Amino acid sequence: MRVSESGGSSLRGLLTLAVIAAVIYVAYRTLPVYINNYELQDYISQLAVQATVQHSQAADIQQSVLAKASDLNLPVSADQIKVQSNRAGVTIDVDYTVPIDLRFYTWVLHFTPSSSNRSLT
């Protein structure tokens, strides 16, 4: 009887180890994308404040966001960045997806970082 019990125990241990390895692998593949998205969100928030104070043009703001996304290796194109800049303030909206190849499945992550800032005048 002890032989069958130890066999079941080792199988359960291997299964647990496989699940832990899978979780670590998925985290390894997705965590950098989430961190880069967070950095882009932080940059957009800072840029909205700066652009309001400096009265920047929408095209210049869009190019700044596009350059930052490129630096962060995020697949963002110019048509995915919407900028409204006028006397009332600045609004920046980005909508993009990142496909994550997990070998057995392609997980598509959808991000929508945005920020707005109103002018005091």
Domain ranges of the chain: 2-118
Q: Decide: 61 and 51 in contact? Cβ < 8 Å.
A: yes
Residue 92 Cα distances to 8, 38, 61, 63, angstroms: 56, 15, 8, 12
Dump pLDDT digits (tens) for 81-107: 999 999 889 999 999 999 999 998 999
Dump pLDDT digits (tens) for 50-63: 999 998 999 999 99
Instruction: Give the pLDDT confidence score for residue 7 in this predicted structure.
Output: 62
Polymer length in residues for the chain = 121
Task: Give 95: exposed, middle or buried? Use CB within 10 Å, 0-12, 13-18, 19+.
Answer: middle
- Neighbour count for residue 111 (Cβ, 10 Å): 18
